[in-house]
Amino acid sequence: IKQLNENLFEYYSFDIKKKFAKDFEKEEKVNNDVIYENDYYRVRYAVLDHKIWIMGYSFEYKDRLFLKKEKINELPLKGKEIGDFKRWLENKENKGKTYKLGDKEYTYEYLKEEYSYTQKGTKISYITDVLYSKENKEKIINLVKNSDYLYCESVFLEKDKDQASKVYHLTTKQTAEIAKEANVKNLVVFHFSRRYGKNKELILNEIKKYFENVS
C-alpha cells in the first residue's frame, strides 16, 4: 500500500506468511501539494489537524478542448487525421504556427477560434473532521480557493462552538466563513451532530446568514 505521512509517500507490503505483518518498502518525497495528476485532472491535498493528522482534498478538472461538431464536416480530414488535428490545437506550444488543410495553411489562432471551443474545468473540494484553528483555516482556504463545489462538514450550530472546539469539528458559521473567504461558488454541507436530530434546515438556515449558496 501507499500512504501519505506529512510530505512523504510511504510504501508498505503485507506478507501472508507473516500473518499480514506490515513491512516498510520505501519512501519518496512529495515536492508539492499535488498527490496525483494526469492529462484530465489533478488531485491536491492538505494535511489538517483533527487530534490525528487527516487530509482534505481538491479535485481539479482541467480545461478541455473540443471540436465544433457542426464544423467538422468542413475539414478536409478523415479518421485519424481529425484526432491529429485536435491534438495539434490542444498543444499551446503551437501558438503562432500554421497547419495545412488541403492546399492552404492557416494560423493556430484562426483554427482554434473557428473549429474548437474550450470547456472550463471544474474544481470540487472535500473537507471533514477538522478543528477550526488559524493554521487549519489557512490551509483549507489555500486548498479550496475558487472551488465550484465545496463539500464540507458543518457539525454544530454556532451556539455550540465550545463543544465543536472540544471535539475538533466545525460550526455553521466557521464553515460559512471558510467558503466565503475562499470564494467558493457552491457549498454543500454534511456531517451534522445527532443533537439536532434530522433537522438539516436548522443548519442550513444558520449558514445562510453568512453564506447564501448552500445546500
Map out the domains of the chain as residue ranges.
1-31, 32-62+121-207, 64-119
Q: Binning pLDDT at 50, 70 and 90, where does residue 31 land?
A: low
Is the separation of the CB atoms in 116 and 66 below 8 Å? yes
Is the separation of the CB atoms in 168 and 51 below 8 Å? yes
DSSP assignment, residue 156?
B
Is the separation of the CB atoms in 178 and 140 below 8 Å? yes
Is the separation of the CB atoms in 172 and 203 below 8 Å? yes
State the cell numbers at 79.
479518421
> SS3 for 40-67, per residue?
CEEEEEEEEEECEEEEEEEEEECCEEEE
pLDDT, tens digit (0-9, with 9 covering 90-100), for 174-205: 999 999 999 999 999 999 999 998 899 999 99
Specify the CATH number of the domain 32-62+121-207: 3.60.15.10
Statement: residue 126 has pLDDT above 90: yes
pLDDT, tens digit (0-9, with 9 covering 90-100), for 62-117: 999 999 999 988 899 999 999 999 999 999 999 999 999 999 999 999 999 999 99
